[in-house]
Amino acid sequence: MITPQYSPQEKFRWVDNDAQVVVDLPSDPSPPLILDLEPDPGVGRQPFRLQIRDAADTVVAEAILAQRLRLEFNFLAAAGE
Q: Which residue has the higher pLDDT, 66 or 23?
A: 66
Amino acid identity of residue 44, one-letter, is G
Per-residue pLDDT at 67: 93
- pLDDT tens, position by position, 20-62: 888 777 777 788 888 888 888 878 889 999 888 888 889 988 8
| φ/ψ of residue 6, rounded to 5 | -130, 145
Cα-based distances in Å from 11 to 29, 48, 69:
27, 21, 16
Per-residue pLDDT at 3: 43
